[in-house]
Amino acid sequence: MPERPQALFAMTAENVPLVFPPAVLARLRASVDIDPGLVAEDLTDPALADVLARTEILVTGWGCPRLDAAVLDAAPKLRAVLHSAGSVKGFAGAEIWRRGIAVSSAAEANAVPVAEYTLAVILLAGKDVFVRRERLRAERVSPGWGIVPGIGNHGRRVGVIGASRIGRKVIELLRPFDLSVSLTDPYVDENVAAELGVRLLPLDELLRTSDIVTVHAPETPETRHLIGGRELALMPDGAVLVNTARGSLVDTDALVAELRSGRLSAVLDVTDPEPLPADSPLHELPGAFVTPHLAGSQGNELARLGLAVAEEAERVVSGAAVAFPVAFEALERGA
C-alpha cells in the first residue's frame, strides 16, 4: 500500500468528532495520514513544527487560524487546503493561491440544509402558518374549518435574491411546486436565468411582485442593508421576508417598523445583531418567526461536511483536481 500523505486538522478541536464521526473519519484516514487527536488551533505553536513541515493536506474548519505567509513557510510541502465548512474568508489570504495551493470548500454540502430549511419555510409561509399559529396561541380560539381566503401555494410568487450556491439550490428545490419564481442577481444574465428556469428581474421589481422574498446574497460592504426601509416598502401587503443569509443584509430597525405595523411578516434564521439582545422586539412581534441560526449544517448534517472533505482528499491523493475549488477572485463577492 502506498504511503499516505501527511494531513493535519486546523480547526476548533471540539468540532473534529462532530464533523468527522467514526465512519467519515475512517474514510478520510484511508487516504491520508491524519491524527484526530492532534488538532492545530494555533499553527504557530512550536510543538507543531515537525508535523507542519511534513503536512501536504490541511483539513480546516470552524476556528481555523489565519494561514499567513509565516504559517505557509512552515509548511513547505502543503499542496491542498480542504475546508470542512463554507467560507474561507476568515483565514485564507492571497498568499495561498500565489503559492499554487489548491483550496476547496464544503460550501456546496453546507448549502443543502439551508436550501431545505428555506423550502420548508416558503411552503409554510405560503399557508400563512407562522402568523396564524401566533394568532391561535394568543386568542386560544380556533376559527374552525372555514375556507381562508388569500393563502395557499398555487401560483404563489417567490422572489429569490442572489443566485449563490444556496440560492440556486432553493430554485432547484422549488421547481416541483406550483410556484412562480423570480430571481435578482447583478452577476446573472438572461441566459443563465433561463437555464435556472426563473424570470430575471431588477431588485425593485422583484420586491414589488413577490409574495415571499428569500435572501441568499453574500455579505459584502455593498450588500449591507440591501433590504432597507425603501425596499421593504415596495413589498406588497401581507408579503413575507425570509433571511437565511446574513443579518446585515436587512435593516433590522426598518424591518421591525414594518412588522409592528402588521403589513409584512418575516422568517429570520439570521439577525443583526446576532445573537439578538434579550430585549429585541423581534422576540415578541407576532409577525416575526425567528430561529437561532439553525438553517446551516447541524447535528447529523455535519457529517456531510466531513464526507465532502474525505472525498476531496481522495481526489488530491489520486492526482485529480478538487471538485469544489475556491478561486481567489471569487472571495470578494462570496459569502
Rounded CA-CA distance 260/59 in Å is: 46
Rounded CA-CA distance 196/331 in Å is: 23
Bond into 21 cis (ω within 30): no
Sign of CA dihedral 20, 21, 27, 32: positive
Q: Would you list the DSSP string of 194-219?
A: HHHT-EE--HHHHHHT-SEEEE----
Q: Compute the residue count for the chain.
A: 335
In this structure, the strands spanning 102-105 and 80-83 are: parallel
Give the Cα-Cα-Cα angle 204, 206, 209 (nearest 5 degrees): 110
Side chain identity, residue 182 = S
**Active-site residue list:** 246, 274, 293
Give the Cα-Cα-Cα angle 292, 296, 297 (nearest 5 degrees): 115
Q: Would you list the DSSP string of 94-148?
A: HHHHHTT-EEEE-HHHHHHHHHHHHHHHHHHHHTTHHHHHHHHHHH-----S---
List the grid coordinates of 290: 425567528
Rounded CA-CA distance 221/207 in Å is: 21
For residues 147 and 293, is the Cβ–Cβ distance under 8 A?
Answer: no
For residues 244 and 215, is the Cβ–Cβ distance under 8 A?
Answer: yes
